[in-house]
Amino acid sequence: DTEVTQTPKHLVMGMTNKKSLKCEQHMGHRAMYWYKQKAKKPPELMFVYSYEKLSINESVPSRFSPECPNSSLLNLHLHALQPEDSALYLCASSQADRAKGLGLNTEAFFGQGTRLTVV
Amino acid sequence: RKEVEQDPGPFNVPEGATVAFNCTYSNSASQSFFWYRQDCRKEPKLLMSVYSSGNEDGRFTAQLNRASQYISLLIRDSKLSDSATYLCVVSFNAGNNRKLIWGLGTSLAVNP
């Protein structure tokens, strides 16, 4: 049972569509992450939010746009994607450590992912 | 040299066998170490954190060797349900953030 919930579980979209992936957690974690995972590869970090502020953007193309409306929610807005963007998109959350000047703790809990197919 | 390296396997073992995975890391400033397990088409799930003193959870034992920069995972009395990919994860400080570096994973198949 995961405490990080992602919707939708599956998504098929055309290259001209606009869609959004949603992630929600109620563990009180203040760091939230988007990862992309291709088959037989490890998760690849895309974005990190720490205390609702974008902390890390791993040079992700602008057709992916993250949003963190509050401490429990994380969205990923998709627009004009390419077929090679098809992948499993994973949301994760973890405790954060603002007091030590470090944004992130590292034990992360993952949602079940959204399997995205771009046609 | 890759930041985190694992033997991809696959490891094929019979039920009841003992199997060990190693993972090496290149950044000597690495601070935290984890083993995650990922089943096919599922999300990664934390299996164990790895501490300097070594730690054990039932059939699973994790160890860290900072001098040689590797971590290990030992699974005793393998079960069919242990079949999965095991991902080694290392974290270190990058400016004001911590970054997680993932290995490519080691595939385990436990056979009846």
Model pLDDT for residues A11-67, shown as the tens digit of each residue: 999 999 999 999 999 999 888 999 999 998 999 999 989 889 998 898 999 999 999
Interface of A with B (CB under 8 A): 2, 41-43, 45, 48, 50, 55-56, 88, 90, 101-113, 115
Which residue type occupies A79?
A: H
For testing contact with chain A, the best of B36, B43, B96, B99 (most A CBs within 10 A): B43
Neighbours of B74 (CB within 10 A): 15
Record: contact A48-B102, CB cut-off 8 A: no
d(CA A1, CA A3): 7
Record: contact B102-A90, CB cut-off 8 A: no
d(CA B49, CA B33): 6
Tell which residue, B72, B105, B101, has the closest CA to residue B86: B105
List pLDDT tens digits, range B72-84: 999 999 999 999 9
- Does B96 contact A at CB distance below 8 Å? yes
- Does B93 contact A at CB distance below 8 Å? yes
Token digits of residue A47: 């974005």
Looking up tokens 């400016």, which residue turns up? B95
> Which range, A56-70, B20-34, B44-58, is most confident?
A56-70
Residue B79 vs residues A112, B40, B50, B111: alpha-carbon distances, Å: 24, 17, 22, 8
Residues 6+ apart with CB under 8 A from A54: A47, A48, A66, A68
User: A30: left (phi > 0), else alpha (psi -120 to 50), else beta?
Assistant: alpha
Tell which residue, B81, B97, B86, has the closest CA to residue B22: B86
Task: Give the pLDDT band of residue A103 (cuts 50, 70, 90).
Answer: very low
For testing contact with chain A, the best of B5, B90, B100, B106 (most A CBs within 10 A): B100
Record: contact B102-A43, CB cut-off 8 A: yes
d(CA A30, CA A70): 10
Check: CB of residue B72 under 8 Å from CB of residue B21. yes
Contacts across the A-B interface (CB distance below 8 Å): 52
What is the rounded average pLDDT of the residues B45-59?
Answer: 90
Residue B1 vs residues A75, B5, B39: alpha-carbon distances, Å: 35, 8, 27
Counting runs of H as helices and runs of E as strands, what totals does chain A give? 0, 11
Record: contact A104-B97, CB cut-off 8 A: yes
d(CA A87, CA A34): 12
- Does B87 contact A at CB distance below 8 Å? yes
d(CA B93, CA A68): 23
CA dihedral A97→B25→B53→A105, nearest 10 degrees, is 10
List pLDDT tens digits, range B12-28: 999 999 999 999 999 88
For residue B91, the chain A residues in CB contact (below 8 A) are 106
For residue B42, the chain A residues in CB contact (below 8 A) are 112-113
Task: Tell me: pLDDT of A72 over 90.
Answer: yes
For residue B44, the chain A residues in CB contact (below 8 A) are 43, 90, 110
SS3 A62: coil
- Integer distance in angstroms from the first to the last C-alpha of chain A? 31
